Every structure is written in structure tokens, then in C-alpha cells.
Chain A
Amino acid sequence: MKTVIISDNRDTFLGMRLAGIGGYYVEEPGLVADALNEAAKDPDVGIVLITERCAGMIPDLIFDTKKKKLFPLITIIPDRHGYKAGRSKITSYISEAVGL
């Protein structure tokens, strides 16, 4: 299986290319969604890395894809300025599940 990156940031995209991760370089929400759907459909894709900004454009689609399917795994990565929203999404998910 392979890993792909969806990035709105040229540096991150090229950086991942350095590590041998191919992917999509997209900037508009519609194209981000298309890229994610395409990656989700491909059975050979194991992990989708997506930059935080991209993920912020289509939060619902990401959440749905995460919940519905076992693969691919979607991981949000920071761009070079680090995480912005912190871990809000996963933190809220945790508190919902554990009831803390």
C-alpha cells in the first residue's frame, strides 16, 4: 500500500515528495474534496496525509470518511508553521466517547 498527500502548500507537497510520498497539490475546497474522494476510492492507498488548512476546508467529508471506512487512514499534518487548531477535533471526539 502507499501513502498520498493532499496539500495546499507547495513546500509541504514538495517536502513529502522528498520522502517518496506522491499526491495532490490543490488549493480550492472543491478540488480538495475531489482529491480526497479519489484517494479514498483507490484500494491501494493506505494513508492519506492532509494538511491542516486543506482539512479545514472540508471537515465534514473528512469526518465521514474517517468514520465510515477502515481504510484509508486520514491524518492531519501541520504545515511548516505548526498546528493551528491544536487537537480540538480529536479532543472533542474523545470527551464525547469517554464522557469526561
Chain B
Amino acid sequence: MMNVNPTRMELTRLKRRLSTAERGHKLLKDKRDEMVRRFMEYIRKNKKLRQEIDEKLAAAMSRFSTAQAVMGESEVAEALLCPAREAKIKVGKQNIMNVDVPTIRFSVEENKADLPYGFAFTSAELDQSVLDMSDLLPLLIELAETEKICNMLADEIEKTRRRVNALEHIMIPEMQETIKYISMKLEDNERGNITRLMKVKEMVTEDAM
């Protein structure tokens, strides 16, 4: 219970605070529920992406190993000496339930099919694995984005959850109890007053008789 003077003014003030707290609690609860819903969506997406990447990366890697075996490691390294092209990304911002999360888009500029080496001394497996990897890149970037969003949402959900709990289990009961205490105190005073009045009236009538 709060430490307050049991006065009428305090009572009105507290009642107002209580209604605000209750409204805030309801709003925060809605926010939390919606965030969890969105969060679940992203988690599901994340899981799917991971599985997809897992499979595709394994396939691309094994193809790459074949290429290396066919061509010899040094030849592969030589072919890839000049970095193909830079994997450029564009970064933006998105607002999910008042959380600023980054959005990342893969900026595709170059032709997908361009390979950074001549065809004379390289094998078809190498070409294929280069293309595989280029296909994989957007997925990887999407995974990075989803994961970040998940982390940020999780943080925010936790904060909101704490607030909701604090309101629900501490602030609101405390205020309700204080309001009850004050009104009881006020009623008690009222009864005391009435008794006193009745007593005085009795004395006065007795005097008059």
C-alpha cells in the first residue's frame, strides 16, 4: 500500500491514476500480443530460411569440392583471384510495432550469368558452383535480416512483458488497495461525525427539556 494521507483529494487523484494505469495496461497487453504474433511469423520464416540455406549450401559446397578436385586447388584459387563482384546490399528501416528494425535488400545490378574468369582453364562444376552461390546470396541476406528482426523483437517483447507484469501485479493492486484504504478511512470519519452529531443533539434536547 502507498503511503498517502487519507483525504478526499488524494482519493480522486488516485482514482484517476488507476484508470490511466488500467488503460495503459490494456494497451501494453495488446501491444505485447501483437508483437508476439509478428515475432512468431518471423521465427517461422527464419526456420524455413535456415533449412533452405542448409540444404542449398551443402549442395553448393559439394559441387565446389568437385570443382576443386577436378581442376586442382591452386587453379581454382587462381580463377577466383579477382573477386567476382561485390555483394552490395542496401539498408533501409522498417517500423514494427514501434521497433526500428533494419531492412536489407540485395541490390542486383550485374548480370547473374557473368563469371569472373575465362572459360579456357576452368570446369563446368566451377561455373555451376559460382551460380549456385550467387543464388544463395539473397537467401543469406534475408536470413541475416530475419535474425536481426527476431532478436530486436525479442528484446522489445521482453521489455513490454515486464511493463505489463509490473502494472498488472504491482501498480494496479497497490492503487486499488490504497483507494480502498482511503475510502474506508473516510467512511469511518463520516460515521464518527454522525455519532458525534447525534450525541450533541441528544445533549441539546436534554438541556432544553
Contacts and interface: CB of A to CB of B under 8 A. Distances in A.
B158 interface: yes
Tell me whether chain A's interface is mostly helix, strand or loop, or mixed: mixed
A18 B153 CA distance: 33
Nearest to A2: B86
B147 interface: yes
A77 B54 CA distance: 8
Interface in A47-100: 47, 49, 66-67, 70-71, 73-75, 77-83, 87, 90, 93-94, 96-99
Contact of B76 (A12, A14, A49, A71): A14
Contacts of A16: 133
B164 to A, nearest CB: 11
Most buried by A among B46, B57, B129, B147: B57
Interface of A: 1-3, 11-12, 14-22, 46-47, 49, 66-67, 70-71, 73-75, 77-83, 87, 90, 93-94, 96-99
B58 A82 contact: yes
A11 B129 contact: no
Given A19-B136, A46-B91, A87-B47, A14 B80 contact: yes
Contacts of A82: 54, 58
Contacts, number: 129
Given A1-B88, A20-B137, A47-B141, A98 B157 contact: yes
Contacts of B130: 18-19
B158 A18 contact: no
Could you say which interface size class chain B belongs to? 35 or more
B193 interface: no
Given A67-B151, A78-B58, A96-B154, 19 more contacts: A2-B89, A3-B141, A11-B65, A12-B61, A14-B76, A14-B77, A14-B80, A15-B64, A19-B136, A20-B83, A20-B87, A20-B134, A46-B104, A47-B141, A49-B144, A78-B54, A79-B61, A82-B54, A90-B151
7 cross-chain pairs, A with B, having the tightest CB-CB distances, nearest first = A80-B61, A97-B154, A19-B133, A75-B144, A18-B133, A20-B87, A73-B144
B84 interface: yes
A46 B92 CA distance: 11
A46 B105 CA distance: 11
Contact of B50 (A11, A19, A20, A83): A83
A20 B84 contact: yes
B148 interface: yes
A47 B87 CA distance: 10
Nearest to B130: A18
A30 B80 CA distance: 27
